[in-house]
Amino acid sequence: MNSVEKNSNETAVVVQDLERRFGSFIAVNRVSFEVKKGEIFGFLGPNGAGKSTTIRMLIGVLAPTDGVGTVAGFDIRTQAEEIKKHIGYMSQKFSLYDDLTVSENIDFYSGIYRIDPARKKARKEWVIEMAGLEHHRHSRTAILSGGWKQRLALGCAILHEPPVIFLDEPTSGVDPVSRRQFWDLIYELSGKGVTVFVTTHYMDEAEYCDRLGLIYRGELIAAGTPETLKTELMQEDVLEVICERPQDAMGEIEQIEGIKEVALFGKGLHVVVEETERAVAAISDLLQRRGYAVTRVEGIVPSLEDVFVSLIEARDRAEQPQQEVKR
């Protein structure tokens, strides 16, 4: 991790050795990281890795078993209620009432956050405009599409203009157009100085974040900017191979010595190798001999998925396969 100033004027979230157990199951295992003010911090990991558990500890609804942390300057162990006033939180299941109208949902949350009556109207209009719901003010929330609901939920979560917002898999299950619009909103908020902590299991979304933490089986296995992760953390090289029938070519390439891993990626293959030059030659040669039409074989900057896979595999190799943890 980069050296971050331990100044609470600079940081929005700081946690040190945060741990949460459920019985004998360690959901979050001694996780430490910092999020700077105004930053978009992506918390990346598969389902069940501990993303939601971490978020719940940060927003003060779940007490950590061990470790310390502050959010917006408040202690997550002792000042949970203060934290709740200073953050916005949007959960995976958008917390909207389906049987209430758009306008009623917003009013409900203004009541919850005790928005100053003088500001109430302006905030409401802001949310409606942001979510693009001008024509659906009095529609039942149930009939809205996923993208609309998502933006409305975001609006409700930030009605009180919190300096830090937590988004738990905000884009799961919405169409790509809405996902893009949603990220536009996140950039906009971040541009205004709001700190955004967002979890996702979409690797491509992770690329949009300023900094990332990779969590796997409760442990933070890497953290840094997407650039650092891709250039510094991956020890092996990655080649992109674009050829005919990649799924068949896979098997052939795997036979070559010095090839660590072959995976389908997009329409081509990503091949993890120890040394680029030799591998490029060997692969081109083999594929041509076997009669595959080859478009391209070249070294590339690995994708975040490549990095994540390589880190996970390194981690798995270090453990016995039998020790696979529950979920």
Partner 1 sequence: MSAIRTSKLKKTFDEVVAVDDLTITVTEGEIFGLVGPDGAGKTTTMRLLTAIMEPTSGDAWVAGFHVVKEAEAIKERIGYMSQKFGLYPDLSVMENINFYADIYGVPRKGRSKRIDELLAFSNLTPFKQRLAGNLSGGMKQKLGLACALIHTPKVLFLDEPTNGVDPVSRRDFWRILYQLLREKVTIFVSTAYLDEAERCNRLGLIYKGQILALGTPDEVKQIMPGAILEIRVADSRKAYQLLKKELREESVGLFGERIHIVTRDPQKVESEAAKILQDAGIDASAPRPIEPSLEDVFVSVLAEQERSEQAR
DSSP secondary-structure letter at 1? Answer: -
Smallest distance, Å, CB 303 to partner 1? Answer: 9
Go through 27-43 and write b for each residue having 16 or more CB atoms within 10 A of its CB, e for each that does not. Answer: bbbebbbbbbbbbbbbb
Q: Which is nearer to partner 1, 47 or 288 (CB)?
A: 47
CA distance 61 to 83: 10
Please name every residue paired with 190 in a beta bridge, in sequence order, or none if there are none: none
Q: Which is nearer to partner 1, 127 or 209 (CB)?
A: 209
Dihedrals φ, ψ of 293, to 5°? -75, 120
- Return residues touching partner 1 (CB under 8 A): 45-49, 145-146, 172-178, 180, 183-184, 187, 190-191, 201-204, 207-209, 216, 226-227, 246-247, 250, 263-267, 305, 308-309, 312-313, 316, 321-322, 324-327
Smallest distance, Å, CB 11 to partner 1? Answer: 20
CA distance 49 to 216: 5
CA distance 167 to 186: 10
Q: Which is nearer to partner 1, 126 or 265 (CB)?
A: 265
Smallest distance, Å, CB 308 to partner 1? Answer: 5
For residue 290, what are the CA distances in angstroms to 54, 285, 293?
Answer: 50, 9, 9
Smallest distance, Å, CB 189 to partner 1? Answer: 12
DSSP secondary-structure letter at 192? Answer: T
Q: Which is nearer to partner 1, 22 or 111 (CB)?
A: 22
Smallest distance, Å, CB 208 to partner 1? Answer: 5
Query: Which of 64, 129, 68 lies closest to 102 in space, CA to CA?
Result: 129
Smallest distance, Å, CB 100 to partner 1? Answer: 20
Smallest distance, Å, CB 83 to partner 1? Answer: 28
Q: Which is nearer to partner 1, 100 or 311 (CB)?
A: 311
Q: Which is nearer to partner 1, 105 or 178 (CB)?
A: 178
Q: Which is nearer to partner 1, 115 or 220 (CB)?
A: 220
CA distance 262 to 301: 16
- CB proximity list for 24: less than 8 A, separation 6 or greater: none
Burial class (CB in 10 A: 0-12, 13-18, 19+), 327: exposed
